[in-house]
């Protein structure tokens, strides 16, 4: 189920940015560009897979929340750091990752 891996969509470009920040000069211009392009392209492909999986679900099941960790647990109040995958957010992720890959 690809919906469980939606946290990879923002993580891949972020990891590539950190890698290029730390080792970009050692890689040189062409290689560091390829690292960033491969990361955003992989993020786009993962978003396409999530989108295709959502198309196969019933309309009432097309919302998925992936909780990464509890951010602020205070008494009865709990604020989670989570990602939401619904048709609108996945469509926007397709546009953002697709344009970023160009």
pLDDT at 7: 92
pLDDT at 53: 94
pLDDT at 86: 93
Residue 71 backbone phi and psi in degrees, to 5: -85, -55
pLDDT at 27: 86
Tens-digit pLDDT string for the chain (102 aa): 788 899 999 999 999 999 999 998 888 888 999 999 999 999 999 999 999 999 999 988 999 999 988 888 888 998 999 999 999 999 999 999 999 999
Q: With contact defined as beta carbons under 8 Å apart, do 72 and 53 qualify?
A: no
pLDDT at 11: 95
Tokens in use for 77? 């109040």
DSSP secondary structure of 32-45 = HHHHHHHHHHHHHH
pLDDT at 2: 82
| Helix 87-101, helix 29-55: angle, nearest 10 | 160
Q: What count of Cα atoms within 13 Å lies in the side-chain half-sphere of residue 53? A: 18
């Amino acid at each position: 189920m690809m919906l469980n891996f939606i946290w990879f969509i923002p993580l891949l470009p972020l990891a590539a940015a950190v890698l290029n920040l730390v080792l970009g000069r050692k890689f040189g211009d062409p290689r560091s560009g390829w690292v960033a392009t491969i990361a955003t392209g992989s993020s786009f492909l993962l978003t396409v897979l999530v989108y295709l999986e959502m198309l196969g679900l019933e309309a009432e099941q097309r919302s998925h929340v992936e909780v990464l960790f509890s951010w602020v647990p205070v008494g009865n109040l709990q604020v989670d750091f989570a990602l939401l995958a619904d048709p609108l957010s996945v469509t926007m992720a397709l546009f953002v990752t697709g344009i970023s890959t160009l």
